[in-house]
Amino acid sequence: MVRLPRRVLPALFLAFAAGTALAHGPTPQKIAQTVTIKASPDAVWKVVGDFGGIASWHPDVAKAEATGGNAEGATRKVTLKSGGALVEGLDEWKGPEWTYSYRMSDPDLTALPVSSYSATLTVTPDGDGSRVEWMGRFYRGDTGNEPPDNLSDEAGREAMNRYFGNGLKGLKAKVEGGRTP
């Protein structure tokens, strides 16, 4: 058995801790977008609550192909106008509570620069109208320690914020009877 002097142990611990701190991978990123809509929660849910109906209100979506309706385990393939497709699976759908949660199945870095994500969309009463919140948790497109700029945490946050923000603007326009931006 090798015995090390007591003053060496703290130095070894610090070296180990510093090495593991530098070797960690990506950290999960979180975003949340909200919009207030001048319509009842039931009216908003009638549009947004259809998991496969995203193409009817999201201006960035060229088409959506869905299977399984609103049942847990349902899937949708969302083809974006800018290119690429998002394959998503429904984890939980609670119609009476106006909320559902889903996750990306297979990453497509041409669609969004993220390697994985999960999201929850919720409608709540807000005065005479509704508040819609779309929250997401994701990892950047390149999960290595030194990702290129286009697959970084910042690129992922910008893309997810833009996608959720554009979607909520489109939902508001659709439900309130306006034009989709």
What DSSP state is assigned to residue 165?
H
Domain boundaries, the chain: 27-176
Give the SS3 label for residue 48.
Answer: helix
Along the 181 residues of the chain, how does pLDDT read in single tens digits? Answer: 556 556 654 554 544 444 444 556 789 999 999 999 999 999 999 999 999 999 999 999 999 999 999 999 999 999 999 999 999 999 999 999 999 999 999 899 999 999 999 999 999 999 999 999 999 999 999 999 999 999 999 999 999 999 999 999 999 999 998 654 4
Beta-bridged to residue 75, according to DSSP, are 67, 89
Can you give the C-alpha Rg of the chain in angstroms? 21
Q: Tell me which CATH code domain 27-176 carries.
A: 3.30.530.20
pTM of the model: 0.84
Strand order in the sheet with 99-106: 29-37, 129-140, 114-126, 99-106, 85-94, 75-80, 61-67
Give the relative orientation of helices 153-176 and 41-48 as an angle to the nearest 10 degrees: 120
Beta carbons of 64 and 79 less than 8 angstroms apart: yes
